Structure 1
């Protein structure tokens, strides 16, 4: 498995873990009260920041453990990265459109913020999953 594929697996696991931690902390903080009245901004900041730190440290550890040959890239790795980034970017766009629609219909800020956060998480998950699948089964020829 290439370095890029191993890092993609790590990013996938980290994204699931940090979003699960966010949801757990959010529901714990809400208790029996309504979710829309729950403060969530600091939870988003801490889980995103923590996820970035864990992803960076894990990626560095994977690169070190892989040795020198694991860091070599070729044209296929660049194609995979480009296509996987396009998959991820599409879900940021979908999430942005969903947040815009929620803002137009004047939904509570809580839901708009959470839709945006979910769009970023989905983008990261699908981008990582696309990298893993393409490394395993090859780059599509369309």
Structure 2
């Protein structure tokens, strides 16, 4: 497994785990509560920060555990990254239509922020899925 593939796996797992944890935490507060009263900004920023730090730390650990893996990017890595980023871009472009519609409908900021957060998460996971598939099945 190349270092780029390993980094993709680590980012996907960390992003999915932290995002799922955050959404379970925050959405558990919704039933029976006015969403305008839920303080989500701090926890959301915390989840984003924890996701970034977790991915960095896990990438370092993975590099230390298997240092013999090639660390140089070749043409294949660049092409796989490009295709993955394109997939993420398309998912993000489509997914941001929901928060845009919610904004136009003057929905609560809570729902707009969370659908936008979900759009970022879905784009990241789509990008990682395309990259991992390309590494596993070839391109």
TM score, norm. by length of structure 1: 0.88
Q: Which residue of 2 aligns with 1:17?
A: 17
For the pair 1:135 / 2:128, whether they are aligned, the reply is: no
Q: Which residue of 1 aligns with 2:79?
A: 79
What's the secondary structure of 2:62's corresponding residue? helix
Q: Deviations over 1:102-137 (max 9, x none)?
A: 111111111110010001111111111111100001
Q: Which residue of 2 aligns with 1:91?
A: 91
Q: Distance in 2 between matches of 1:32 and 1:100?
A: 26
Deviation of 1:21 after TM superposition, in Å, equals 1.3
The alignment yields a C-alpha RMSD, in angstroms, of 1.7
The 5 Å alignment of 1:42-53 reads 42-53=42-53
Deviation of 1:7 after TM superposition, in Å, equals 1.3
Deviation of 1:28 after TM superposition, in Å, equals 4.0
For the pair 1:63 / 2:63, whether they are aligned, the reply is: yes
For the pair 1:111 / 2:111, whether they are aligned, the reply is: yes
